[in-house]
Amino acid sequence: MLDKAPITRSGPVRQVHDFKSGNEAAALAARDIGFHLMGYFPITPSTEVAETLSKMQADGEHEIAMIPADGEHGAAGICYGAALGGGRVLNATSSQGLLYALEQLPVQSGTRVPMVLNVSTRTVSGPLDIRCDHSDVYFVLNAGWIILMARDPQAAYDMNFAAVRIGEHPDVRLPVIVAYDGFLTSHQKRRIDRFDDPAAVRAFVGEREDPYTALDPDRPVTFGPYMNDPDLINNKVQQHEAMEAARRVIPDIFAEFAEFSGRDYRSVDAYRMDDADVALVLLNSAAENAKGVVDRLREDGLKVGVVSPNVLRPFPTDEIRRVLKNVRAAVVGDRGDSYGAEGGNLSLEIRAALQQDPDNSTLVLSRIYGLGGKDFYDADAEEFFREALTAAETGKVDVPFEYHGAYAGDDAAGPAPGLPPIKSEEVTRGMATVTKNAETERLEVELKPLWEMTTTPSRIAPGHGACPGCGFFPMLRQAYNVLEGNIVVLFQTGCAMVTTTGYPKTAHRITYIHNLFQNGAATLSGLVEMYHERIRRGEIPAPPEDEDTTFIMVTGDGGMDIGMGAALGTAHRNHRMIILEYDNQGYMNTGSQLSYSTPYGHRTSTSEVGNNLSGKRFHHKDTPQIFAACNLPYVFTASEGYPEDFMRKISKAQWYARHEGMVYGKVLSFCPLNWRTQDDAAQEVLQTAIDCCFFPLYEVEKGHTLVTYDPDAIGRRRQVADWLGQMGKTKHMLAKENAERLGMIEHEVQKRWQRLKIKSEHPEL
């Protein structure tokens, strides 16, 4: 909490050294600024901002309301709504997350609602790669947000303070992005100085003042009215003027910040540029690398320097012209291509800035470097300088645009083959026989003995990158034992995807597709329809009856948060496919953040446990009931701990997907790493989850619910507390001070179980 001590503005404020990564520094700044609210959704490498704040919140270090969104689009909406309420708002994201939020960004800038968004930059998909480049932040250049660049953890800390002041300036009133390099800055710890005088910080950031808020009953306001020509274009003139105002305001705020902190930022960072003949222009951490090379080349008498904008929007045109005025040649390195434009965005904008200056004749070479986290070494900077020196000497540019240190690959040198693709005949062994009971109209399944199933080759090859004990693979193996014929799988992003396909290898011996986990269901539904359409047109052979290809989307529980909209759309259209969710109760692939399926009170890296907080604060999502409400032909729950039950259900799922429409199945799937158990504890933990009725096994077939395992009926009912005591992530719930929380989850579990049993017992339900 900030205290109310008097403040002093003379000279740098009291500060302490710390050793922090860029993400941690951004989180510290958020704490020190005292934002009202953060709306967020995890994505590597920015997740740590929310995680760090979550831990701090649990320990009572700040009072920021932390709202876990259902996806970045939701997070952006939460932030926009909160900012309309007049408080200070924060978000952090990267890559696909930024793109998923993109649609909301112009809404916010267009209605002039300030907030701060930290972007830990990462390459955009596809293919998926989690490491740094600037292709994500380049996408938002047209979003109307101010964009500040932060070259190291110190700058990530500092720019957050500047961002609040710049964005909220009455002449500006725009949202602000602070962008720092994923991993290179977000994860590398460096020494930083952080403020140690809360009252002075409070005085520096001041109070947010909004001309209007959505929370003032005395002054109702219409935000975002429908607007047409000519008002819209006039409105955009105002938005343009706000950016122009930012151009004036930014140097003032930077100067104030310099006085406050002792750290002097300019719109353009110019290193040894006073007499430079050639320059290298780079963004963020690569520019820092290049400074060492400048020092070395200067020792050889070469007049070189580095230029690096600290501000991308508004683009510091005048400063760029000034700093490059006497430079004969410059290499502009872009960590992101504007495909087809013959230059990355930075080089295009620098060329445009110089072209407007009649006194400038700097030759510009555009180079694309470091995509997808490709390292940028001293040797790379040196090569750029040599190219610029050659251009300066010869007075001409031989290669205006080029990819640096990369090539288009060699068709002849494809990846070494792994196991050969598997043929449908090899895996169609009749391990499950599905028949319809004429009386009940339900499907019945007869399974071959388990030992016989071991002879079925798997559609997934041995060898994957999952943790020992991971439950996903036994689950998939069980499904593949009984599924017949040709299968096409689509995996949404998550552990199962990441651990089975690391280029150039794939563990899939059948056709596999990846799409991001917000849109897999829609993607697969498109493929399903193309399959049937091409059969209808005679372009691909019609399969014999009962032998249609089966399309399965494999998703984690997280995918059923962010991807819920696409999945529900798919369900309502009733495409002939299966959605198979392995529920490990969290976003495990990104380091165990809470999903909406995470049970109440469970500890995750965004629902931390401390003196002030005790795990997740809302109950787990009842996804099977949501899909049941879509009136699908078949919905089921299962667990890899009950193979025969699961295999019966997945066989029925295939029948329904072939004959009637969409199936959804949720399978409780063991995750020893993040549940904090022994690797071999699956059987015990899953059994208790089922026996305590937290995870009931049931199916909803043509609208009729049937509990397929009733622990009450066979005297195996256990307490929820027994299950919670088996996992490190939940042990805290058994502490005396958490008795009320324990009661809440017990109550919820019992309530849902009772309803289910009533449905199961009633012939109409």
Ligand X SMILES: Cc1ncc(C[n+]2csc(CCOP(=O)(O)OP(=O)(O)O)c2C)c(N)n1
**Would you tell me which residues interact with Mg ion (CB under 5 A)?**
556-558, 584, 588
27 is a contact residue toward ligand X (CB under 6 A) = no
CA 648 to chain centroid:
35
Distance of CA 404 to CAs 161, 237, 293, 297, 413, Å? 35, 39, 17, 20, 21
672 is a contact residue toward ligand SF4 (CB under 6 A) = yes
* Residue 77 contacts which entry, ligand SF4, Mg ion, ligand X, none (Cβ below 5-8 A, type-dependent): none
**Shortest CA distance to 116 belongs to which of 179, 66, 170?**
179
**Shortest CA distance to 181 belongs to which of 90, 257, 73, 287?**
287
Binding span for ligand X by CB under 6 A among 112-120, 181-189, 321-329, 516-524 = 516-524
When binding is defined by CB under 6 A, the residue of 470, 594, 650, 657 that contacts ligand SF4 is 470
Interface positions, 365-404, toward ligand X (CB under 6 A): none
Residue closer to ligand X (CB basis): 432 or 498: 498
- Give the nearest distance from C-beta 499 to ligand SF4 in angstroms: 5
When binding is defined by CB under 6 A, the residue of 125, 499, 511, 519 that contacts ligand SF4 is 499
Residue closer to Mg ion (CB basis): 353 or 638: 638
Measure the CA–CA gap between 373 and 45, rounded to whole angstroms.
Answer: 12
472 is a contact residue toward ligand SF4 (CB under 6 A) = yes
Question: DSSP characters for 239-291?
Answer: HHHHHHHHHHHHHHHHHHHHHHHS----SEEEES-TT-SEEEE--THHHHHHH
Measure the CA–CA gap between 212 and 221, rounded to whole angstroms.
Answer: 7
Q: In terms of C-beta density within 10 A (0-12 exposed, 13-18 middle, 19 or more buried), how is residue 442 classed? A: middle
* Residue 467 contacts which entry, Mg ion, ligand X, ligand SF4, none (Cβ below 5-8 A, type-dependent): ligand SF4
145 is a contact residue toward ligand X (CB under 6 A) = no
- Give the nearest distance from C-beta 471 to ligand SF4 in angstroms: 7
589 is a contact residue toward ligand X (CB under 6 A) = yes
Residue closer to Mg ion (CB basis): 135 or 584: 584
104 is a contact residue toward ligand SF4 (CB under 6 A) = no
Measure the CA–CA gap between 151 and 483, rounded to whole angstroms.
Answer: 52
Binding span for ligand X by CB under 6 A among 430-438, 551-559, 679-687, 747-755 = 551-559
466 is a contact residue toward ligand SF4 (CB under 6 A) = yes
Measured from the Cβ of residue 337, the count of other Cβ atoms closer than 10 Å reads 19
Q: How many of the chain's residues bind ligand X (CB under 6 A)?
A: 26
Residues 617-656, one symbol each (x = binds ligand X by CB under 6 A, - = not), give ----------------------------------------
Measured from the Cβ of residue 117, the count of other Cβ atoms closer than 10 Å reads 27
Q: What are phi and psi of 174, to 5 degrees?
A: -135, 150
In this structure, what is the dihedral angle of CA atoms 557, 562, 565, 570, given to the nearest 10 degrees? -50
β-pair partners for 271 = 306
When binding is defined by CB under 6 A, the residue of 588, 663, 693, 749 that contacts ligand SF4 is 588
Identity of the amino acid at 511: T
Distance of CA 339 to CAs 98, 170, 344, 718, Å? 19, 37, 8, 59
94 is a contact residue toward ligand SF4 (CB under 6 A) = no
Measure the CA–CA gap between 513 and 490, rounded to whole angstroms.
Answer: 5
43 is a contact residue toward ligand X (CB under 6 A) = yes
∠ CA 365-371-372, nearest 5°, is: 175
- Give the nearest distance from C-beta 245 to ligand SF4 in angstroms: 48
Binding span for ligand SF4 by CB under 6 A among 3-11, 21-29, 69-77, 672-680 = 672-680
Q: Contact at 8 Å (CB) between 700 and 668?
A: no
Measure the CA–CA gap between 360 and 353, rounded to whole angstroms.
Answer: 10
* Residue 672 contacts which entry, ligand X, Mg ion, ligand SF4, none (Cβ below 5-8 A, type-dependent): ligand SF4
When binding is defined by CB under 6 A, the residue of 323, 495, 560, 632 that contacts ligand SF4 is 495
560 is a contact residue toward ligand SF4 (CB under 6 A) = no
Reduced DSSP (H G I as helix, E B as strand, rest coil) percent helix, strand, coil of the chain, to 5: 40, 20, 45
Q: Which DSSP category does 180 fall into?
A: E
When binding is defined by CB under 6 A, the residue of 153, 182, 344, 559 that contacts ligand X is 559
554 is a contact residue toward ligand SF4 (CB under 6 A) = no
- Give the nearest distance from C-beta 92 to ligand SF4 in angstroms: 22
Interface positions, 233-272, toward ligand SF4 (CB under 6 A): none
When binding is defined by CB under 6 A, the residue of 46, 96, 267, 604 that contacts ligand X is 96
- Binding residues for ligand X, per CB under 6 A? 41-43, 72, 96-97, 100, 493-496, 516-518, 555-559, 584, 586-590, 595
- Binding residues for ligand SF4, per CB under 6 A? 466-467, 470, 472, 495, 499, 584, 588, 671-674
